[in-house]
């Protein structure tokens, strides 16, 4: 590998220049190995934050991150592989019903997931509310489960794009997390290294999303679709609404229970709608001719869910944990619920113990928020609007504070905007 001067590379990007392919390879490898210092990579991250990366630079940056670790190989499977990634939101439990549904339609769904941080929940935290369920699997266990069950939701191994873990920690403490090129490279390096043939991206937009504006969400979606396509992964994205939280619950065990309702043929309409929309995209990418709504109604997705949970040591029939303390927040007026602030609900759930402030903090399996009306529904003064759940009673007051003004109640009904706002693909 050629040798470069880190200071010269920083200067090049700072001044708006383009980084050579070999320079990017050298920089990422040597930062991962500790040759390039945190101070130098911090300066580069800030230069990229302001100057960006063009399409060629970004593809090379992503590939260089992938090259620091292993790439998984699912070519031995008898099923076509397809994965989904969400940029995260409040009440976003879609992976839980979606993975078994798409598997029940004939695909293999290798869903490598993460843990929550801040106001957005983590899929692994949710599933760990199920007694006995384990997140960590070996590559051999993953392959066996994908072949026999069709779906696996587990933790990503440390061998996938180790450069990303180191670089993300650096960005987190240098105010460079919001860089669209670096967000895109972070997400796509792990997804491409994961080895799936097709990928559907759920890019959230709105108050409860990482990207608050539609323009930023669309830019992120287009950038990630471009990276995936360049890498030979069949990639599409849906931009979806996160002004209001999804479903009726935010919190780990609460969201598992709601997901099981969906698999049983019920559940909130918005969760069902988005699950089916993403399933249709995933099946199209995998060239599988199946009707996900019919498969959901047949009960086959529920069977796959139970098999998936059992395969990872969990008991799908065991009761989920319940909080030691609950408190109801009542509606203050008659009227239509015209808005529900997703960020406020997520913050309340976090304060109740459903989320963590920093990596490694414990979470409460039973903590969270239930809301008893969806946007557009009529509510009466005094009726329960929220129920707060926690094992720690002293957390309730600050959670209530987070919900002040979160629900807008008005005289006239206001329709919620569509769940799926736009589809992004190449060509």
- The residues assigned a catalytic role are 85, 164, 171, 186, 190
In DSSP terms, 387 is beta-bridged to 328, 370
* CA dihedral over 414, 415, 416, 418, signed as positive or negative: negative
Q: What are phi and psi of 173, to 5 degrees?
A: -105, 5
Residue with tokens 């190995």: 33
- Residue 392 near residue 364, CB atoms below 8 Å: yes
């Amino acid at each position: 590998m050629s040798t470069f001067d880190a200071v010269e590379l920083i200067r090049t990007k700072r001044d708006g220049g383009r980084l050579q392919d070999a320079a990017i390879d050298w920089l990422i490898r040597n930062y991962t190995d500790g040759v390039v210092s945190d101070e130098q990579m911090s300066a580069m991250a800030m230069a990229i934050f302001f100057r960006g990366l063009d399409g060629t630079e970004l593809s090379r940056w992503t590939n260089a991150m992938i090259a620091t670790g292993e790439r998984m190989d699912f070519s031995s499977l008898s099923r076509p592989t397809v994965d989904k990634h969400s940029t995260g939101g409040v009440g976003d439990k879609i992976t839980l019903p979606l993975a078994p549904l798409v598997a029940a339609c004939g695909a293999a769904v290798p869903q490598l997931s993460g843990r929550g941080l801040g106001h957005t929940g983590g899929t692994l935290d949710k599933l760990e509310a199920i007694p006995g369920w384990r997140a960590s699997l070996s590559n051999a266990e993953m392959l066996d489960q994908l072949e026999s069950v069709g779906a696996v939701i587990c933790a990503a191994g440390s061998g996938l794009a180790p450069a990303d873990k180191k670089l993300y920690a650096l960005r987190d403490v240098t105010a460079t997390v919001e860089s669209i090129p670096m967000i895109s490279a972070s997400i796509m390096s792990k997804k491409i290294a994961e080895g799936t043939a097709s990928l559907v991206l759920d890019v959230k937009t709105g108050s409860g999303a990482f990207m608050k504006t539609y323009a930023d969400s669309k830019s992120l979606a287009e950038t990630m679709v471009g990276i995936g396509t360049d890498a030979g992964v069949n990639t599409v994205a849906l931009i979806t609404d996160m002004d209001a939280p999804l479903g009726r619950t935010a919190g780990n065990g609460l969201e598992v229970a709601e997901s099981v309702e969906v698999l049983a043929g019920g559940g909130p309409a918005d969760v069902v709608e988005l699950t089916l929309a993403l399933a249709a995209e995933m099946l199209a990418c995998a060239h599988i001719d199946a009707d996900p709504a019919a498969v959901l109604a047949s009960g086959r997705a529920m069977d796959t869910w139970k098999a998936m949970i059992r395969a990872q040591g969990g008991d799908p029939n065991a009761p989920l944990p319940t909080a030691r303390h609950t408190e109801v927040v009542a509606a203050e007026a008659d009227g239509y619920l015209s808005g529900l602030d997703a960020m406020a609900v997520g913050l309340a759930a976090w304060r109740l113990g459903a989320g963590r402030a920093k990596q490694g903090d414990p979470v409460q399996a039973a903590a969270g928020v239930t809301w008893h009306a969806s946007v557009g529904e009529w509510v009466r003064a005094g009726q329960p609007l929220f129920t707060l759940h926690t094992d720690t009673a002293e957390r309730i007051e600050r959670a209530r504070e987070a919900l002040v003004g979160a629900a807008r109640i008005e005289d006239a009904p206001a329709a919620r905007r569509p769940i799926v706002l736009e589809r992004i693909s190449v060509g």
